[in-house]
């Protein structure tokens, strides 16, 4: 049960991290993040089907899923160009545009892959099981948790230790001042939004062997991703990790004890967080 919760948290972190990164730098609450997650899931199914037809062994499915998620994440580039039209407008325009994109992507998914949910069992079974603390668990889950930790560490080091990371953080702190120092903020925004999309599409690609891809998964994911943001704090990467773990474990316990209260239990924690700590565990209070 606990491993299942951590596995879900690992996938949820990827999407929430993309959401946090985009808001932290571009100040946009991206409601379309769930669409990128669903897009990654559907594209991963197609990619694994192609890999199977080419005769690739089952152990190669995980790299194929990762590459499929990264490749389809490039859809973030044209989407970011569209978002430029509302960067300096009221937040309501940004919310409406990203929500409209979520609906558009839902129709795109229906057009290319149909309305019937799709599964990818062969990738999940290809890795077998492993014994952890005397319990047999799916090896695939362990690999996805390890991949999410590696991505989180790489992203943290990139933002803290590289010149590009420092430029991104400077742009997030003060866009006008960084532009005055010669930073091309449009390029920074395009790169940040694309990376945010890739985190979401990789999350969708990694989850699909363990969960069916469906048109509803985008909206369901948005609910959980924003629960993570509220609990962890808007714009905080540490908050994304903590929030994802809390939501993932609460969801796992609810499924085990009272499945009917799975979503309700998450809402209750969100309400509690809003009452006790409105800025989230690692968020900055707004004056």
First to last CA, the chain: 41
The yes-or-no verdict on residue 287 having pLDDT over 60 is: no
What DSSP state is assigned to residue 27? -
Query: According to the model, what pLDDT value does residue 104 have?
Result: 93
Query: According to the model, what pLDDT value does residue 196 have?
Result: 92
3-state secondary structure of 210: coil
pLDDT tens figures, 170-222: 888 888 888 888 888 889 999 999 999 999 999 999 998 888 899 888 888 88
Catalogue the E-assigned strands of the chain: 129-132, 135-138
Query: According to the model, what pLDDT value does residue 43 have?
Result: 94
Distance, in Å, from the CA atom of 154 to the CA atom of 106, rounded to the nearest integer, reads 31
Query: According to the model, what pLDDT value does residue 286 have?
Result: 52
Query: According to the model, what pLDDT value does residue 119 have?
Result: 85
Query: According to the model, what pLDDT value does residue 285 have?
Result: 58
Query: According to the model, what pLDDT value does residue 205 have?
Result: 93
What mean pLDDT is reported for the chain?
A: 88
Distance, in Å, from the CA atom of 62 to the CA atom of 6, rounded to the nearest integer, reads 18
Q: Is the dihedral of CA 163, 166, 172, 175 positive or negative?
A: negative
Query: According to the model, what pLDDT value does residue 259 have?
Result: 82
Query: According to the model, what pLDDT value does residue 79 have?
Result: 93
- Beta-bridge mates of residue 136: 131
pLDDT tens figures, 262-278: 888 888 988 998 898 88
The whole-model pTM stands at 0.89
Average the pLDDT over 111-116 and give the result: 92
For a pLDDT cut of 90, what percent of the chain falls above it?
36
Lowest mean pLDDT among 21-30, 52-61, 116-125: 116-125
Query: According to the model, what pLDDT value does residue 284 have?
Result: 66
- Residue 160 tokens, joined: 């803290």
Average the pLDDT over 160-177 and give the result: 88
Between 19 and 287, residue with greater pLDDT: 19
The yes-or-no verdict on residue 283 having pLDDT over 80 is: no
Cα–Cα distances (Å) from 10 to 69, 224, 243, 246, in that order, read 15, 13, 11, 11
Query: According to the model, what pLDDT value does residue 57 have?
Result: 84
3-state secondary structure of 85: helix
Burial 253-262 (b: 16+ CB within 10 A, else e): bbbeeeeeeb
């Amino acid at each position: 049960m606990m491993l299942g919760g951590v596995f879900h948290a690992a996938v949820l972190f990827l999407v929430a991290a993309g959401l946090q990164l985009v808001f932290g730098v571009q100040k946009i609450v991206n409601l379309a993040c769930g669409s990128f997650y669903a897009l990654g899931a559907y594209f991963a199914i197609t990619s694994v089907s192609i890999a199977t037809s080419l005769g690739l062994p089952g152990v190669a499915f995980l790299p194929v899923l990762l590459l499929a998620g990264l490749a389809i994440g490039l859809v973030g580039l044209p989407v970011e160009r569209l978002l430029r039209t509302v960067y300096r407008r009221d937040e309501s325009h940004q919310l409406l545009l990203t929500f409209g994109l979520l609906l558009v992507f839902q129709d795109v998914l229906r057009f290319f892959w149909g309305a019937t949910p799709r599964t990818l069992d062969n990738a999940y079974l290809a890795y077998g099981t492993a014994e952890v603390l005397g319990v047999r668990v799916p090896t695939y889950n362990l690999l996805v948790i390890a991949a999410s930790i590696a991505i989180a560490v790489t992203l943290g080091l990139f933002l803290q230790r590289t010149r590009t990371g420092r430029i991104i953080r400077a742009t997030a702190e003060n866009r006008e001042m960084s532009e005055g120092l010669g930073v091309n903020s449009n390029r920074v925004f395009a790169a940040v939004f694309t990376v945010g999309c890739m985190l979401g599409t990789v999350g969708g690609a990694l989850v699909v062997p363990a969960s069916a891809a469906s048109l509803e998964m985008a909206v369901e994911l948005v609910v959980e991703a924003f629960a993570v943001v509220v609990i962890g704090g808007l714009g905080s990467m540490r908050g994304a990790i903590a929030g994802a773990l809390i939501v993932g474990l609460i969801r796992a316990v609810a499924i085990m004890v009272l499945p009917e209260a799975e979503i309700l239990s998450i809402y209750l924690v969100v309400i509690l967080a809003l009452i006790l700590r409105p800025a989230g565990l690692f968020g900055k209070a707004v004056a």
